[in-house]
Amino acid sequence: MRYLYYIKGFERKFYKVMKSYLHFILWMLFSCNISDTSNPINSDLYEAPVAVKIDTTMTIHQHSRVDPYYWMRLTDEQKTSENPDEQTNRVLAYLKGENDYKDTMLAHTKELQDKLYHEIIGRIKQDDESVPYFKNDYWYYTRYEKDKEYPIYCRKYQSLEGEEQIMLDVNELAEGFDYFDISGLEVSPNNRILAYAEDTLSRRVYTIKFKNLESGALLDDQLANAAAGGAWAQDNGTFFYTTKDQTTLLENKVWRHSLGSEQAKNDLVYEEQDKSFYTGVYNSKSGDYVIIYNVSTLTSDYHILRADNPNGNFEQFTPRETPHEYRIEHFEDKFYIVTNWEATNFRLMETPVSATDKSHWQEVIPHRDNTLLDDIEVFKNHLVVQERSNALIALRVIDQQTGEEHYMDFEEPAYMVYASTNVEFDTELLRYGYSSLTTPNSVYDYNMTTRKQVLKKQQEVVGGHRPDDYQTERLFAEVRDGTMVPISLVYKKGLVKNQEPAPMLLNAYGSYGISTDPWFNSSRLSLLDRGFIYAIAHVRGGQEMGRKWYEDGKLLNKKNTFYDFIDCAKHLFDEGYTSPEHLYAIGGSAGGLLMGAVVNMAPETFNGVIAAVPWVDVVTTMLDESIPLTTNEFDEWGNPKNKEYYDYMLSYSPYDQVKTQSYPNMLVTTGLFDSQVQYWEPAKWVAKLRDMKTDDNLLLLDVDMDTGHGGSSGRFKRHKRTAMGYAFMLDLEGIKE
């Protein structure tokens, strides 16, 4: 999915004038023997780069579109080549020109950026540690050391007073890499072997490695082109994992690997033929099953295998049906199923392990029209149900012996709560996380019988943070079709509405059924303490108000997402919080699509917009099945090979709908190695905006030449881009300190 974004990873270039001069010389070298009509940028680097137009015509449904910037596309091989060809040099020169222009235009904010950066990272506890959890005789936790970017994964045998064993020090592994990510840590049932996945390019294509935790030695086994994670069989020598289609980057094959064998000799145990599905493999919470999942927008499918039978055949849980989404959880002699079978907002069912076909399912919790059954956590004596209604999350605790139930109490008007790491069945304790726009992330152990809870850890904000200094609110905006859309907001106390409009940053996502919950972010304090209001528009396309909220913001209803955002902004004007001269909008990935759509539809609504890794060339991407993530998203956006969807998508596609009009100040970010939203989409979009917009407002493109969709790795470096985005807005507000 074109998932949620992170504003992170920008590194400022030094000696700007010298670099601009050197860049100009390089551009001249790259451009020799190229005619003027193929020159991608202007020679005057003190002006905004101007991309050459080389028309590419695309025709479908007897309709032609002309893309003058299609030439900006590079393959992965071109991007990483040690001997770049002419096309590669031209594209890279253009992207570097954009970076140099951005640096020049933001040069006067350097001191503010530096101040913001040190302010933001200064709130991060340098030597931090997660709350340990107990699994299979060991306490597991993650810690950070002062001045180090990456986590250290640790464990202790039986007692927290015991000797620490460092499983992985990612700081050591990351040395020499511009980008480094470790994910999918899986310890074998006998506690001796650690499997982990490593990505050094930010394409989310991993190599799985294995470490002997007793000797500390790496095994020779390496599994390339893999997804992060996997599942151990109970023999401790068999590991199931997933590989990706090298073109689409979709996980489509599940393999059985025996430790000590070559990857080429692994057994293929499952191959997904339908390119609309994500595929993966994991262990059930009980450890008794290895489970293959296949998930598309509308359909789920599972295949199960007893973990004590690693050479057996996977069996389908129930025949695949479209549409039918469900999730399974094993417990003792049955499976629980969260399903939308005849239940728009999902219901809970169960079935014996010996008969998992849908015909044997029995209802446990019925469907409710006003409540989304989001997830479950299973324990020996209790069942915890996570629900959503009225744009808030609830945790419902059910005693499995007596049937008695209760809801946990959360007092703030807007908050985020979730079941945390719960790996044990036989316990009375639910570990959960809680956060709000004013309350730092907190981890609790809640006794489901006595209803008493213990705070295990609250995120420390170095330098101090007083939640009572800030005010959070929940509003509802009536949008153009009469729907009431929730808005969560936070600001420093002392704000008086209907006087001087306050600067505001309005955020939203609104796709894939992903809800944008109101959680705490210490970085945000740098805006709140300077007088900004931060707000979230819970627009349709997420699931804040139930499954229908999602259905009403996808496919041929997608424009509701954009209209909701614009109308929420206008409601905030009407309520006296802010004004168009002081409103800023931010969204990333599919939320960047939202940004692109609203600046075309209502540019006068915003003074500034930050579009992070924005998906803006909707029609071209969805017509190109060679681009990663296209084929499995037809049920989310529509397939433009169908004329009805083509016409509808074309009517809102930000790149196609750029107009000759004024646009707000804009900062657009991307990464050269982005596999979710290819860098050329925001690059082309900025080039087209430069050519067509009629204003003198800022239009800046920040290209991270080393990373992909998530930006920089590491916990500090990422905030360079955060500081840049904040400085961009503060400067527009005339706030220099």
What is the per-residue pLDDT across 249-282, written as a single tens digit (0 to 9) for each?
Answer: 889 999 999 999 999 999 999 999 998 899 999 9
601's tokens: 């539809």
Q: 3-state DSSP helix/strand/coil percent for the chain, to nearest 5?
A: 25, 30, 45
Q: Catalytic: which of 67, 674, 704, 731? A: 674
Q: What is the pLDDT of residue 708?
A: 62
Distance of CA 200 to the CA centre of its chain: 18
Q: Is 55 annotated as catalytic?
A: no
Q: Is 709 annotated as catalytic?
A: yes
Give just the sign of the alpha carbon dihedral 214, 215, 218, 219.
negative
Where residue 629 falls (left for φ over 0; alpha for ψ -120 to 50; beta otherwise) is left
What is the per-residue pLDDT across 235-252, written as a single tens digit (0 to 9) for each?
Answer: 999 999 999 988 778 899
Q: What is the DSSP string of 359-383?
A: GG-EEEE--BTTBEEEEEEE-SSEE
Residue 383 contacts residue 376 (beta carbons within 8 Å)? yes
Q: Is 330 annotated as catalytic?
A: no
Q: Catalytic: which of 538, 709, 712, 731? A: 709
Question: In the chain, how long is the greatest CA-to-CA distance?
Answer: 82
Q: Give the domains, in start order, of the chain with CATH numbers.
A: 177-321 (2.130.10.120)
| Beta pairing class for 334-339 and 326-331 | antiparallel
β-pair partners for 153 = 142, 168
What is the per-residue pLDDT across 575-605, written as a single tens digit (0 to 9) for each?
Answer: 999 999 999 999 999 999 999 999 999 999 9
What is the per-residue pLDDT across 47-96, written as a single tens digit (0 to 9) for each?
Answer: 899 999 999 999 999 999 999 999 999 988 898 888 999 999 999 999 99
Using CA atoms, how far residue 434 sits from 91, 439, 519, 730, in Å, is: 45, 8, 8, 30
Lowest mean pLDDT among 201-205, 447-451, 563-567, 716-720: 201-205
Q: Which amino acid is at 80?
A: T
Q: Catalytic: which of 276, 488, 589, 653? A: 589
User: pLDDT category, 3, cuts 50, 70, 90?
Assistant: very low
Give just the sign of the alpha carbon dihedral 280, 286, 290, 293.
negative
503's tokens: 């600067």
Residue 27 has pLDDT above 90, yes or no: no
Where residue 610 falls (left for φ over 0; alpha for ψ -120 to 50; beta otherwise) is beta
Lowest mean pLDDT among 78-82, 133-137, 330-334, 551-555: 78-82
HSE toward the beta carbon, residue 40, CA cutoff 13 A: 26
